[in-house]
């Protein structure tokens, strides 16, 4: 069967040696099994993320993203752009949609892109990896390669903000999206009844507003414990990093005993599809996902 | 008249025969009920069963039929025998479905069923088939008082349906309040721009319609008669004609007399009366003279900034929380201010327009209109205005409710969104008080009545006063959920802002509804039938004047003002105005008022027919008088749901609690009943009584029954009244059971001993 | 007062709403708010906002220019998009918050040293310098945003985390020497300069 082809936009955090590098590792295993071919966009650049607004302003941010779209259009005509990072996806999709809607903005954008020798017609669809999995692959096909069902694992599906809003997955609700739970169940684990699915972890402000953000993170982790979860799973790099990294801080400051592993759904799938702990990038966890490792070791 | 022949038919279907002893009931119908013919049938409502009854009517000369089967509310099509008097003994919903199952209850269940057979036989024996009240000539023309949007809409709707219409308009041209508007709030998509009022088109349609006759510069000087025969005298205001009165004969009336804006000068705290502080009507005038150009103030200065103050003197706010002025929301004024702000923005987008509101109420598609105003740059500020200073430069002091601070804004012009005051004529409560004094010979009061009549809209020649009774806040409203468009003057329907505050679109819908009601009224009047809610009813009150003591209770208590007085001060019934509630029958202390098919006797004989066990049997009997509109259906529903209640109860449906004559209660208690329950509709401001005042009057009468009970030596608890809604099936069963338990506790009636 | 700020004041006189409509990203939406308060109740950092988005919109309409541009409120936005998802009037609130923050910053009115503003600036500069974000230099810069002394304390406090990430191969100490970059750095720089130029021209800031 021919592999499904996509233009791949990894994003800064998934680069080698960056905070979500283990995400990339697991994506590779997963896409392999699902007959997905990811073609890295040549010389892609940072999306600017939402936090870039202060210095960036509107047009520079659009242009930054337009460059990636233009590179896709030029080098991989006809392919959808796929990103694993919600921030990259959000910025790209917002850019693509706004430029399609407003011809004057597109003209301005192209005026700037010309400086980098590029031009955008604006036909590219920017999509998120989960979107591709759900819409193009489907739950049934996601289940097919499972050789090692994650029986007995209880998982809190933490969707976070930007995977879910303002675009989200078509047909899902903003307030109580179910797709991550369904994906958890697809690989044989149990999705707990988790009431902080869409809570903000503080995002980039985890750095600059540690107290405020850590209050959010505490809620997120606590609710996972309350739901009886063994671990949290998320599609978002920043969520993963914030919720995992700051648990020790919160423990130190507030006397909690948090030790809740936070993994990516891609890691679950890699293991379920027969990959090793290393294939799934489990060595990259600060808080070891022991139960998952145990299954991987079987 | 041919001899009466009475027959009883007992159905043994639907489980009746399995649970009850039908043979015993047949015997009772023959022996005690004295029915000439008694038959039972396994399936009475099927073709064969019905045919059996029809054959008896045709061949045996049966004139009166008691059907002992299901509730009188069931199988009404099957058991429909024109020209035949019929009673229904409710053995299914009223007995087998509600009495607890099992042999332990067999005895009381059978007793209950037998009593219902006795009651059905007793009732039908007292019934007469009503002959109806067909009049030789009945007018089907419709009078519309008021030629504004509501009036014109009603007139066109009635004319479109083929009815002749007479419009009486006090101004020199049609259009009412709307003719002074530049534009109206949009009625059709995309709901973003004000639209032309359409007044000219409507007026043109009216003058082109041969069915519509218009009296301009005119008012109604007198309305006499009743539906189908209203005689209207019309006074011309214009000089040339001088006091000559035109006369029109009509069958029904739509009162579409609109509203008057609340007197803005009373709003002193909001700058009312000061220069450059206007109400919405004032702003329309300014906009009209601007004719699409820049809007100028009275002093000729161009308005560059304007503030609209919402709810001015409305919603009990008085603009300053003082609770003065109007208590209610007039509904249209938020959208009207939005429209008026657009007058400014459309003429010149640079004009600062601020709408100051505490709640922006734009129902229906008003939300789109609101959005459109925002798009045009109208600023909406959530604030409570404390003070407005008018003059050359106006200043509005307000509390910003979002930013929580006291602040102010300057403006060239301030528009106060004042409320609608209904043009509903004379307040009958005030009127009655003055008339009572005048009747007592008070000269000042007599003069006052003349003066009050000058403010009347309809000048009804009715004993109860010259206009429609008003409800809350002086509107001629009715219970708008249960009985939209109904009023308490049969054949007269209020429409538009005289009925309740409303906007133009609502007024048009309202007027269409009122026109349809008026058409029903003239049609029913012609056939001698009642109007809503007993539109099929051909009976009407018959009074034996020989016995009348001229106590006037019926005249005063009739909720619909149907009874006047003749020259000898006897009650004069206007059948076409009567709604057949029986309130007069309930009121009459000497019991001379009755209907042919519903009388003091039809109910009284049922009360007496019940077999009341003596003191040794320890089986209490409770009489339940249940309003047929809500309570009785709720009892049936309890049966349908198989809820159980005490088998000691004997239920009799009544037209309205207002029709309950105290004699039934005292008779029951004397006969040894242990308690009397009444179930009627909700009373008060949010009444649900189908006859508006019936349940209220009943509860008033019952509050006075204590003395009678004391004289009889009966405890007060033996008579109780409940308000019940049609949805209360669970509650009615519980009320009965609770009362039965209470009766057990107080013990059997002392009258038994 | 900065130059462009005094020019703005002169140009728009008392009409701050118009200024916002013309110069702030998605500013033309501000007038459409119906003051329901849903955004205020949906914001994760809501309690820390001096003025909620709802209030800011009202303040803009009320012409409270200084108060709006000088507040640190919109800098509290985590870009969670809750408000956008819930606003019954479909205001792109998140974008307006970013736009307001950016505009205040451009005028030099935003609170100096506001941590989120600092991080936003550092992040952007970090990103455009190489075309991609260098997480190590970004983090170091963050720790030193309050000065050298505080920076050492901050990084000591988070040392455990850093070492952990390094062990997990998720923070690469070699990045300080360069790390990931785009090939066409100069093209990116030129195009961004151009974009800024066009936008400033359109907004009347040039
Ligand atoms: S039956 Fe009712 S409406 Fe008719 S006259 Fe009597 S009280 Fe009035
Ligand atoms: S996007 Fe920003 S303003 Fe909106 S709710 Fe999230 S943090 Fe608050
Ligand atoms: S949710 Fe939207 S309409 Fe409501 S206050 Fe916020 S911005 Fe305004």
Whether residue B436 lies inside any domain: the answer is no
Q: Which of B422, B451, B484 is the last residue of a domain?
A: B422
- pLDDT tens figures, B568-594: 999 999 999 999 999 999 999 999 999
Residue B173 maps to which CATH number? 3.50.50.60
| Residue from A190, A166, A80, A168 nearest A127 by CA | A80
Nearest-by-Cβ selection for C116 from A18, A19, A205: A205
Claim to verify: residue C26 and residue C43 sit in the same structural domain: yes
Query: With a 6 A CB cut-off, is C37 part of the ligand 3 pocket?
Result: yes
Distance of CA C99 from the midpoint of ligand 2 (Å): 13
Residues B211 and B275 in one domain: no
Q: Which domain holds residue B741?
A: 612-753
The whole-number pLDDT of residue B2 equals 59
Q: What is the pLDDT of residue B239?
A: 52
Domain end, chosen from B131, B155, B179, is at B131
The distance of C167 to chain B (nearest Cα, Å) reads: 51
C142 chain-A contacts, CB cut-off 8 A = 207-208
Residues 40-69 on A with a CB inside 8 Å of C are: 43-46, 48-60, 62-64, 67
C34 contacts in chain B (CB < 8 Å): 360, 370, 374, 380
Tokens standing for residue B549: 């003591």
For residues B397 and B297, state if they share a domain: yes
Q: Which chain A residues have a beta carbon less than 8 Å from that of C128?
A: 46, 64
pTM, two decimals, is 0.87
**Minimal Cβ distance to B403: which of C31, C32, C58:** C58
Does the beta carbon of B402 lie under 8 angstroms from any beta carbon of chain C? yes
Kindly state whether residues C137 and C183 are assigned to the same domain: yes
**Contacts B–C by Cβ distance under 8 A:** 33
Q: Residue ranges of chain C with pLDDT lower than 50? A: 176-178
Contacts for A200 with CB less than 8 Å, ≥ 6 apart: A160, A161, A216, C44, C78, C80, C82
Distances, alpha carbon C66 to alpha carbons B603, C47, C70, C107, in Å:
82, 22, 6, 11
pLDDT band, residue A298 (cuts 50/70/90)? confident
C positions 13-72 inside 8 Å of A (CB)? 25, 44-45, 48
Name the least confident of A100-114, A199-213, B104-118, B124-138.
B124-138
* Domain total of chain C: 2
Q: Is the CB of C99 under 6 A from ligand 2?
A: no
* B536 within domain boundaries: no
Domain end, chosen from B80, B98, B131, is at B131
Domain for residue C16, yes or no? yes
pLDDT at res. B323: 58
Q: Does C116 touch chain A (CB under 8 A)?
A: yes
Per DSSP bridges, beta strands B542-543 and B379-389 are unpaired
Ramachandran bin of B86, using left for φ above 0, alpha for ψ from -120 to 50, beta for the remaining angles: beta
Best mutation site among C29, C58, C83, C89 for ligand 3, i.e. most ligand atoms within 8 A of its Cβ? C89
Partner residues linked to B38 by β-bridges: B8
User: Could you tell me the distance, in angstroms and rounded to a whole number, from the CA of residue C110 to the centre of ligand 2?
Assistant: 18
Domain total of chain B? 5
Q: Partners of B39 in the beta sheet?
A: B9
Contacts of B375 in chain C (CB under 8 A): 31-32
CATH architecture of A4-130: Up-down Bundle (1.20)
Which chains pack against A, by 3+ Cβ pairs within 8 A?
C
**CA torsion angle for B269, B273, B277, B283 (degrees, to 10)?**
130
| DSSP letter assigned to residue B61 | -
- The segment(s) of chain A belonging to CATH 1.20.1050.140 are 4-130
Q: What is the CATH number of the domain that holds B711?
A: 3.40.50
Top mutation candidate among B524, B540, B584, B586 for ligand 1, by most atoms within 8 Å of CB: B584
Q: How far is the CA of B630 from the centre of ligand 1 (A)?
A: 19
C3's CB contacts (< 8 A; 6+ apart) are: none
Say if residue B570 is in the same domain as residue B674: no
Contacts of C62 in chain B (CB under 8 A): 381, 400, 403, 407
pLDDT value, residue B271: 96
Tell me if C87 CB under 6 Å of ligand 3: yes
Question: Does position A73 have pLDDT exceeding 90, yes or no?
Answer: yes
Q: What are phi and psi of B289, to 5 degrees?
A: -70, -25
Q: Is some CB atom of chain B closer than 8 A to the CB atom of C166?
A: no
Please give the CATH number for the structural domain made up of A147-296. 3.40.50.11810
Same domain, C31 and C69: yes
- Residue B606 within any structural domain of the chain: no
Q: Are residues B242 and B362 in the same domain?
A: no
Beta carbons within 8 Å of B33's beta carbon, 6+ residues apart: B6, B8, B66, B117, B118, B120, B121, B122
Same-domain check for residues C92 and C69: yes
The pLDDT score that the predictor gives to residue B3 is 85
Kindly state whether residue B181 falls inside one of the protein's structural domains.
yes
How far lies C51's CA from each of B408, B592, C47, in Å?
A: 20, 76, 9
Question: How far apart (Å, rounded) are the C-alpha atoms in residues C85 and A174?
Answer: 7
Question: CA B494 to CA B511: how far, in whole Å?
Answer: 8
Q: In sequence order, what are the residues at sequence separation of 6 or more whose Cβ sits closer than 8 angstroms to the Cβ of residue B456?
A: B425, B426, B466, B467
Q: Are residues C105 and C131 in the same domain?
A: no
State whether residue A145 sits within 8 Å of chain C by CB: no
With a pLDDT cut of 90, the percent of chain A lying above it is 81
Q: State residue C139's pLDDT score.
A: 63
**How confident is the model at residue A194, as a pLDDT?**
97
Instruction: Determine B/A contact with 3+ CB pairs under 8 A as the test.
Output: no
pLDDT at position A35 is 94
Whether chain C has a CB inside 8 Å of the CB on B381: the answer is: yes
Is residue B225 located within the same domain as residue B355? Answer: no
Domain end (from C110, C130, C155): C110
Q: Is the CB of C78 under 6 A from ligand 2?
A: yes
Name the helix (H) or strand (E) containing B388. strand B379-389
Question: Does residue B459 fall inside a structural domain?
Answer: no
**Contact yes or no for C55 and B402 at CB 8 A:** yes
Residue C149 shares a structural domain with residue C89: no
Cβ of C129 under 8 Å from any chain A Cβ? Answer: no
pLDDT recorded at residue B1: 46
CA-based torsion, C59, C62, C63, C67: positive or negative: negative
Contact A202 C78 (CB under 8 A): yes
Residue C75 belongs to a domain with what CATH number? Answer: 1.10.1060.10
| C131 and C106 within one domain | no
Q: Which of C85, C118, C198 sits opposite A166 (nearest CB)?
A: C85
Say whether both B737 and B624 belong to one domain.
Answer: yes
The predicted structure's pLDDT at residue B431: 95
Of C20, C79, C107, which to mutate for an interface test with A (greatest number of A Cβ within 10 Å)?
C79
C99 and C34 part of one domain: yes
Give yes or no: residues C99 and C19 share one domain: yes
Nearest CA to ligand 3 atom 6: C39
Cis geometry, peptide bond prior to residue B447 (ω within 30 degrees of 0): no
Q: Do chains C and B touch (3 or more CB pairs under 8 A)?
A: yes
Write the residue with the smallest CA distance to atom 8 of ligand 1: B558
Q: Which of C32, C54, C64 sits opposite B374 (nearest CB)?
A: C32
Domain that holds residue C52: 10-110
Are C21 and C100 contained in the same domain? yes
Can you tell me the distance from the alpha carbon of B156 to that of B450, in angstroms, rounded to the nearest whole number?
A: 35
Residue C1 lies inside a defined structural domain of this protein: no
Instruction: Mark whether C104 and C124 lie in a shared domain.
Output: no
**Tokens at residue A279, please?**
């294939």
Is C193 close to A59, i.e. CB distance below 8 A? no
pLDDT below 50 — which residues of chain B? 1, 318-321
- Pair C22, C77 in one domain: yes
Pairing of strands B593-594, B542-543: antiparallel
pLDDT score of C137 = 60
- Specify the ligand 3 atom closest to the Cα of C54: 5
Q: Is residue C5 part of a domain?
A: no
């Amino acid at each position: 069967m021919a592999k499904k082809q996509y233009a791949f936009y990894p994003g800064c955090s998934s680069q080698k040696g960056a905070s979500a590098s283990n995400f990339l590792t697991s994506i590779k295993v997963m896409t392999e099994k699902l007959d997905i071919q990811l073609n890295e966009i040549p010389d892609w650049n940072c999306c600017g993320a939402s936090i870039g607004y202060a210095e960036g302003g509107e047009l520079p941010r659009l242009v930054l993203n337009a460059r990636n779209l233009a590179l896709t259009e030029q080098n991989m005509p006809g392919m959808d752009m796929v990103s694993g990072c919600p921030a990259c996806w959000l910025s790209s999709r917002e850019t693509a949609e706004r430029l399609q809607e407003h011809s004057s903005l597109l003209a301005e954008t192209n005026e700037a892109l010309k400086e980098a020798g590029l031009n955008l017609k604006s036909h590219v669809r920017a999509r998120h990896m989960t979107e591709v999995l759900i819409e193009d692959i489907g739950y049934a096909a996601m289940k097919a390669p499972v050789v090692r069902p994650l029986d007995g694992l209880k998982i809190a599906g933490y969707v976070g903000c930007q995977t879910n809003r303002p675009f989200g997955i078509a047909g899902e609700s903003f307030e109580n999206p179910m797709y991550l739970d369904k994906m958890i169940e697809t690989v044989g684990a149990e999705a707990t009844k988790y009431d902080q699915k869409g809570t903000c972890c503080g995002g980039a402000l985890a750095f600059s507003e540690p107290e405020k953000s850590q209050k959010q993170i505490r809620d997120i982790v606590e609710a996972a414990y309350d739901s009886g979860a063994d671990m949290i799973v998320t599609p978002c790099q920043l969520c993963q990093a914030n919720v995992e990294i700051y648990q020790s801080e919160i423990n130190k400051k507030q006397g909690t005993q948090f030790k809740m592993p936070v993994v990516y759904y891609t890691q679950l799938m890699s293991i379920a599809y027969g990959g090793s702990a290393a294939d799934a990038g489990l060595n990259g966890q600060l808080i070891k996902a022991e139960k998952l490792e145990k299954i991987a070791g079987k | 008249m041919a001899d009466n022949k009475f027959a009883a038919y007992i159905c043994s279907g639907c489980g009746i025969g399995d649970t009850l002893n039908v043979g015993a009931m047949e015997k009772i119908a023959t022996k005690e009920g004295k029915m000439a013919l008694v038959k039972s049938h396994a399936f009475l409502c099927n073709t064969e069963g019905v045919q059996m009854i029809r054959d008896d009517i045709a061949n045996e000369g049966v004139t009166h039929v008691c059907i002992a089967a299901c509730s009188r509310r069931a199988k009404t099509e099957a058991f429909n025998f024109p020209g035949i008097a019929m009673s229904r003994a409710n053995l299914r919903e009223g007995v087998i479905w509600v009495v607890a199952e099992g042999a332990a209850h067999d005895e009381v269940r059978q007793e209950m069923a037998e009593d219902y057979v006795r009651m059905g036989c007793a009732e039908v024996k007292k019934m007469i088939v009503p002959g109806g009240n067909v009049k030789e000539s009945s007018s089907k023309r419709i009078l519309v008082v008021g030629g504004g949007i509501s009036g014109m809409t009603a007139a066109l709707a009635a004319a479109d349906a083929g009815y002749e219409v007479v419009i009486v308009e006090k101004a020199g041209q049609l259009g009412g309040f709307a003719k002074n508007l530049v534009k109206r709030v949009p009625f059709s998509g995309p709901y973003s721009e004000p639209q032309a009022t359409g007044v000219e088109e409507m007026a043109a349609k009216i003058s082109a319609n041969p069915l519509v006759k218009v009296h301009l510069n005119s008012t109604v000087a007198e309305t006499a008669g009743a539906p189908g025969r209203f005689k209207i005298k019309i006074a011309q205001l214009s000089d040339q004609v001088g006091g000559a009165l035109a006369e029109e004969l009509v069958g029904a009336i739509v009162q579409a007399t609109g509203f008057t804006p609340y007197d803005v000068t009373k709003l002193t705290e909001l700058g009312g009366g000061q220069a450059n502080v206007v109400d919405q009507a004032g702003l329309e005038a300014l906009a009209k003279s601007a004719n699409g150009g820049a809007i100028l103030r009275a002093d000729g200065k161009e308005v560059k900034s304007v503030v609209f103050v919402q709810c001015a003197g409305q919603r009990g706010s008085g603009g300053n929380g003082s609770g003065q002025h109007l208590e209610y929301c007039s509904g249209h004024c938020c959208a009207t201010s939005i429209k008026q702000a657009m007058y400014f923005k459309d003429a010149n987008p640079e004009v600062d327009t601020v709408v100051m509101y505490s709640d922006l109420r734009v129902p229906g598609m008003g939300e789109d209109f609101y959005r459109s105003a925002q798009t045009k740059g109208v600023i909406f500020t959530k604030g409570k205005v404390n003070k407005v200073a008018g003059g050359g430069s106006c200043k509005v002091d307000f509390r910003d409710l979002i930013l929580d601070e006291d602040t102010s804004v300057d403006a060239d012009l301030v528009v106060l969104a004042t409320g609608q005051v209904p043009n509903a004529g004379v307040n009958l409560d005030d009127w009655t008080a003055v008339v009572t004094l005048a009747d007592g010979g008070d000269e000042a009061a007599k003069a006052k009545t003349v003066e009050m009549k000058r403010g009347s809209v309809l000048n009804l020649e009715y004993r109860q006063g010259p206009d429609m009774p008003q409800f809350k806040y002086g509107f001629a409203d009715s219970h708008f959920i249960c009985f939209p468009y109904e009023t308490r003057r049969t054949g007269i329907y209020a429409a538009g802002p005289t009925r309740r505050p409303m906007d133009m679109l609502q007024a048009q819908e309202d007027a269409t509804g009122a026109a349809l009601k008026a058409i029903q009224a003239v049609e029913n009047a012609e056939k001698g039938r009642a109007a809503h809610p007993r539109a099929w009813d051909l009976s009407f009150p018959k009074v034996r004047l020989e016995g009348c003591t001229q106590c006037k209770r019926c005249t005063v208590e009739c909720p619909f003002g149907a009874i006047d007085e003749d020259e000898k001060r006897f009650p004069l019934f206007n059948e076409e105005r009567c709604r057949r509630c029986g309130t007069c029958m309930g009121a009459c202390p000497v019991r001379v008022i009755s209907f042919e098919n519903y009388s003091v006797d039809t109910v009284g004989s049922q009360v007496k027919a019940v077999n009341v066990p003596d003191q040794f049997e320890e089986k209490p009997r409770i009489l339940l008088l249940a309003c047929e509109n809500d309570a009785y259906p709720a009892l049936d529903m309890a049966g349908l749901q198989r809820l159980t209640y005490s088998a000691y109860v004997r239920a009799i449906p009544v037209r309205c609690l207002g029709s309950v004559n105290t004699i039934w209660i005292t008779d029951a208690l004397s006969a040894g009943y242990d308690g009397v329950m009444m179930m009627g509709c909700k009373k008060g401001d949010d009444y649900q009584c189908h006859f508006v005042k019936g349940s209220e009057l009943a509860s008033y009468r019952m509050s006075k029954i204590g003395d009678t009970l004391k004289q009889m030596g009966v405890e007060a608890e033996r008579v109780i009244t409940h308000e019940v809604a049609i949805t209360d099936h669970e509650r009615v069963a519980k009320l009965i059971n609770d009362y039965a338990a209470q009766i057990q506790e107080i013990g059997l009636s002392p009258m038994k001993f | 007062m900065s130059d462009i700020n005094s020019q703005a004041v002169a140009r728009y006189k008392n009409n701050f709403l118009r200024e916002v409509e013309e110069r702030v990203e998605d500013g033309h939406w501000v007038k459409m708010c119906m003051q329901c308060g849903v955004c205020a109740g949906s914001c994760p950092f809501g309690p820390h906002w001096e003025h909620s988005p709802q209030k800011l919109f009202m303040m803009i309409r009320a012409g409270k220019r200084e108060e709006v541009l000088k507040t640190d409120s919109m800098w509290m936005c985590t870009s969670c998009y809750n408000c956008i998802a819930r606003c019954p009037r479909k205001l792109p609130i998140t974008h307006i918050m970013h736009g307001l923050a950016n505009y205040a910053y451009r005028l030099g009115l935003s609170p100096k040293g506001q941590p989120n503003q600092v991080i936003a600036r550092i992040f952007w500069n970090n990103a455009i310098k190489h075309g991609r974000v260098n997480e190590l230099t970004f983090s170091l810069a963050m720790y030193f945003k309050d000065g050298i002394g505080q920076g050492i304390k901050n990084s000591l406090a988070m040392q455990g985390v850093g070492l952990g990430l390094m062990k997990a191969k998720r923070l690469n100490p070699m990045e300080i020497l360069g790390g990931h970059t785009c090939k066409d750095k100069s093209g990116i720089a030129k195009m961004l300069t151009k974009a800024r130029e066009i936008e400033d021209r359109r907004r009347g800031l040039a």
